[in-house]
């Protein structure tokens, strides 16, 4: 996820080291390119940027030497538009009079770029941060002052983002917030603004919180907050922040896992915006439509999303697809693979060795390679003919949560488009995720003590919720170290039922269409002593039969599995913490498995 930082001082100084350190503090958010710009007392703009790590870009471009009164840093996490020097931020306007950078996504970027070119502006990249600068330039050229030009630009730029910009011949920077994080701060002889608290905290603890729809005008000796809507000044108190750096990075949550679980409404919203607004989805879908055989390849959590993807593709597009664990793909399908076949390779990191082995073998046979990937610039992204980004930002916690949800969202969008359906069903999803997280929070906390000492559990699902049962079981195993097996519910009677005795915990996950099956499954195991937990929409028959119920909001059956994973993530988290473990870094595991 990108990050921005801007600073205005009362006297010209070497701003380079301050910008580099701010960049390092933003780096935990994930990035592939770095850029810094300063404006000196002589009003010249010095802009240096490149692809690479903060330290490397700083060394290659001697950023420490940069002097000025005003400065900004941007770390870019590529979404669409490859990581490149041109796409790295900040960006200049056509005449090099303004410089700006953003964090987030401008979803009408393609349309805006065409307009700017038609209006005679110089567009140098495909990056949406550049569109923010030209959107302001458009109104400055019409004679508006910066505050009014920014207010107009705000209306033209659709999406969720935050933006900072400076202009020659002035003494201030401007920034505004529209859906992405942005915090301002006041120090001794400077003011600053950044995407998050960690970018600011070592410089000052005097914080000014900004809300969506507000802009801030920063000068060396003070700042003013204004409403974008009418330009009026807003009175906003200065807060003294006492958080530690680590606590600030976790955004007030005790662990990254919990923070990332609660980011799910936002990342789902971002991805839905992006997929609606880009041509990438069409390209991707056209490529898979013509395939003779279609394989969905991944490991761990990503493999579970592949199973749900196959169910969606069959239901919505009548398109058979084979979900397969990457190493097993080599044994089971590679010998029969041909150039007419296509694989969608799914990986959060884009670096999982098992996945890359399968990808290379498929490529050697001439098969089509598509990627679903979170980390852009990764090996998977480069190896794919076409890719879709998961747009989750950096996932720090080892257990995958928000990336699983967006893998499912991406597969649902692919299946809808492949089947010629509209995307309307997706629009309610971010709100439903939010409601689910709120609704199950207390019930999950209440349930945790009942499962606390259990070392063996089953998690059963059916149809759309089968992959959710596998994913819930994996989450529980991964962070609680207890054994939890995920299974198709109908398979349970074919063997595992013999393990059930007094108090044996079984989690049933189901959609509204599975009520009959759930009721039989619950009774079959409860009469042998099992303690049953049901995760489903409200249904009197389920409530009457199960010992515990975690209720999901009513939703389209296609969305129900995505909602059902949320209580399981929270349950795994709560049990892990109650057992005294660190859910962010489970023992023996690594976030990115680059070994065989
Ligand atoms: O980066 P990837 O999606 O390729 O990783 C695959 C698995 O290692 C990963 O999903 C793993 O199962 C998760 N840590 C589970 O939470």
Residue boundaries of the structural domains of the chain: 3-249, 269-421, 428-582
- Residues near 186 by beta carbon (within 8 Å), at least 6 away in sequence: 204, 206, 208, 222, 223, 238
Kind and range of the H or E run holding 167: strand 159-167
- Write out the chain's pLDDT in tens, 596 residues: 689 999 999 999 999 999 999 999 988 777 889 999 999 999 999 999 999 999 999 999 999 999 999 999 999 988 767 789 999 999 999 999 999 999 988 889 989 999 999 999 999 999 999 999 999 999 999 999 999 999 999 999 998 889 999 999 999 999 999 988 899 999 999 999 999 888 898 899 999 999 999 999 999 999 999 999 999 999 999 999 887 777 778 888 999 999 999 999 999 999 999 898 778 899 999 999 989 999 999 999 999 999 999 999 999 999 999 999 999 999 999 999 999 999 999 999 999 999 999 999 999 999 999 999 998 778 899 899 999 999 998 898 999 999 999 999 999 999 999 999 999 999 999 999 999 999 999 999 999 999 998 999 999 999 999 999 999 999 999 999 999 999 999 999 999 999 999 999 999 999 888 999 999 999 999 999 999 999 999 999 999 999 999 999 999 999 999 999 999 999 999 999 999 999 999 988 888 887 77
**Residue having the nearest C-alpha atom to atom 8 of ligand 1:** 300
Q: For domain 269-421, say whether CATH 3.40.50.10490 is its number.
A: yes
Asked if 140 and 149 touch (Cβ cutoff 8 Å), the reply is yes
What's the confidence (pLDDT) of residue 1? 63
Asked if 375 and 30 touch (Cβ cutoff 8 Å), the reply is yes
Largest CA distance in the chain: 83
CATH numeric code, 428-582 = 3.40.50.10490
SS3 114: helix
Could you tell me how far CA 219 lies from the centroid of its own chain? 33
Rounded Cα distance between 390 and 80, Å, is: 11
Place of tokens 């349930």: 447
- The structure's pTM equals 0.81
3-249 homologous superfamily: Aminohydrolase, N-terminal nucleophile (Ntn) domain (3.60.20.10)
- Residue (of 419, 391, 392, 426) closest to 311 by Cα position: 419
What's the confidence (pLDDT) of residue 572? 98
* Distance (Å) from CA 515 to ligand 1 centroid: 31
What's the confidence (pLDDT) of residue 153? 96
Among 30, 296, 299, 350, name the best residue to mutate to test ligand 1's pocket (greatest count of ligand atoms within 8 A of Cβ). Answer: 299
User: Ligand 1: which residues within 6 Å by Cβ?
Assistant: 299-302, 347-349, 352, 355, 398-400, 474, 478, 592-593
- Residue (of 338, 329, 332, 268) closest to 303 by Cα position: 329
C-alpha distances out from residue 91 to 76, 94, 274, Å? 12, 10, 21
Place of tokens 């269409």: 513
What's the confidence (pLDDT) of residue 165? 98
Which sequence positions are flagged as catalytic? Answer: 2, 591
Dihedral sign (CA 326, 328, 330, 332): negative
Rounded Cα distance between 490 and 524, Å, is: 11
For 427-459, give the DSSP string. Answer: GGHHHHHHHHHHHHHHHHHHHHHHHTT-SEEEE
Asked if 389 and 373 touch (Cβ cutoff 8 Å), the reply is yes
* Distance (Å) from CA 104 to ligand 1 centroid: 25
Could you tell me how far CA 561 lies from the centroid of its own chain? 19
Q: From the CA of 352, give the closest atom in ligand 1.
A: 4
- Residue (of 17, 12, 27) closest to 203 by Cα position: 17
Rounded Cα distance between 387 and 368, Å, is: 12
Cα 229-233-235 angle, rounded to 5 deg: 120
Tokens of 136: 């302001």
- Residues near 222 by beta carbon (within 8 Å), at least 6 away in sequence: 186, 191
What's the confidence (pLDDT) of residue 196? 87
- Residues near 501 by beta carbon (within 8 Å), at least 6 away in sequence: 528, 529
Give the bridge partners for 505, in sequence order. 531
Rounded Cα distance between 26 and 32, Å, is: 12
Q: From the CA of 355, give the closest atom in ligand 1.
A: 4
Q: From the CA of 589, give the closest atom in ligand 1.
A: 14
* Distance (Å) from CA 537 to ligand 1 centroid: 28
What's the confidence (pLDDT) of residue 159? 86
Please tell me the total number of residues recorded for the chain in this structure. 596
Strand order in the sheet with 183-187: 45-51, 33-39, 67-76, 3-14, 190-194, 183-187, 206-209, 239-240
How would you classify the pairing of strands 183-187 and 206-209? Answer: antiparallel
C-alpha distances out from residue 501 to 456, 518, 526, 529, Å? 11, 19, 9, 5
* Distance (Å) from CA 583 to ligand 1 centroid: 15
**Residue having the nearest C-alpha atom to atom 4 of ligand 1:** 347
Rounded Cα distance between 111 and 95, Å, is: 22
Among 308, 323, 324, 348, name the best residue to mutate to test ligand 1's pocket (greatest count of ligand atoms within 8 A of Cβ). Answer: 348
Q: Same CATH fold, 428-582 and 3-249?
A: no
SS3 116: helix
Tokens of 391: 């747009």
């Amino acid at each position: 996820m990108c990050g921005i930082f801007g600073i205005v001082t009362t006297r010209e100084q070497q701003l380079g080291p301050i910008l580099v350190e701010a960049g390092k503090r933003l780096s935990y958010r994930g990035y592939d390119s770095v850029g810094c710009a300063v404006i000196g007392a002589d009003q010249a703009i010095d802009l240096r940027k490149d692809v690479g790590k903060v330290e490397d870009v700083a060394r290659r471009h001697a950023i420490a030497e940069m002097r000025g009164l005003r400065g900004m840093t941007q770390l870019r996490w590529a979404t669409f538009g490859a990581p490149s020097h041109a796409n790295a931020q900040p960006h200049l306007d056509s005449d090099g009079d303004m410089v700006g950078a953003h964090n987030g996504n401008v979803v009408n970027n393609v349309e805006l770029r065409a307009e700017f070119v038609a209006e005679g502006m110089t567009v140098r990249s495909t990056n949406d941060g550049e569109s923010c600068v030209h959107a302001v330039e458009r109104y400055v050229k019409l004679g508006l002052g910066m505050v009014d030009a920014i207010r107009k630009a705000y209306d033209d730029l659709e999406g969720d983002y935050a933006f900072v910009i400076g202009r020659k011949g002035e003494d201030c920077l401007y920034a505004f917030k529209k859906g992405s994080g942005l915090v301002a701060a006041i120090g001794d002889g400077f003011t600053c603004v950044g995407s998050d608290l960690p970018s600011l905290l070592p410089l000052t603890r005097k914080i000014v919180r900004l809300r969506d729809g507000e802009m801030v005008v920063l000068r060396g000796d003070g700042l003013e907050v204004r409403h974008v809507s009418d330009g009026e000044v807003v009175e906003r108190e200065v807060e003294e922040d006492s958080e530690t750096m680590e606590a600030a990075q976790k955004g007030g949550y005790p662990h990254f896992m919990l923070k990332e679980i609660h980011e799910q409404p936002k990342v789902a919203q971002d991805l839905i915006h992006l997929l609606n607004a880009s041509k990438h989805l069409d390209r991707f879908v056209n490529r898979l439509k013509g395939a003779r055989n279609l394989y969905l390849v991944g490991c761990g959590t990503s493999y579970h999303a592949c199973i749900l993807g196959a169910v969606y593709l069959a239901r919505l597009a009548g398109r058979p697809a084979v979900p397969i664990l990457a190493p097993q793909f080599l044994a089971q399908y590679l010998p029969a693979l041909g150039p007419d076949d296509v694989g969608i390779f799914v990986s959060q990191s884009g670096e999982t060795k098992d996945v890359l082995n399968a990808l290379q073998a498929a490529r050697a046979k001439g098969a089509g390679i598509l990627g679903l990937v979170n980390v852009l610039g990764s090996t998977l992204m480069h190896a794919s003919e076409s890719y879709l980004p998961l747009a989750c930002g950096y996932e720090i916690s080892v257990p995958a949560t928000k990336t699983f949800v967006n893998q499912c969202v991406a597969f649902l969008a692919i299946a809808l488009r492949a089947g010629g359906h509209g995307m309307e069903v997706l629009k309610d999803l971010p709100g439903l995720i939010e409601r689910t997280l709120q609704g199950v929070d207390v019930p999950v906390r209440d349930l945790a003590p009942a499962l606390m000492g259990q070392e063996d559990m089953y998690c059963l699902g059916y149809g759309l919720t089968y992959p959710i049962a596998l994913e819930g079981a994996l989450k529980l195993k991964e962070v609680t170290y207890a054994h939890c097996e995920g299974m198709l519910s109908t398979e349970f009677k074919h063997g595992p039922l013999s393990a059930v005795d007094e108090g044996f915990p079984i989690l049933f996950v189901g959609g509204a269409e599975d009520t009959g099956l759930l009721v039989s499954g619950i009774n079959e195991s409860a009469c042998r002593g099992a303690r049953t937990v049901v995760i489903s929409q409200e249904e009197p028959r389920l409530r009457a039969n199960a010992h515990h119920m975690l209720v999901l909001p009513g939703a389209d059956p296609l969305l129900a599995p995505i909602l059902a994973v949320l209580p399981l993530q929270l349950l795994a988290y709560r049990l892990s913490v109650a057992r005294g473990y660190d859910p962010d870094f489970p023992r023996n595991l690594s976030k990115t498995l680059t070994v065989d």
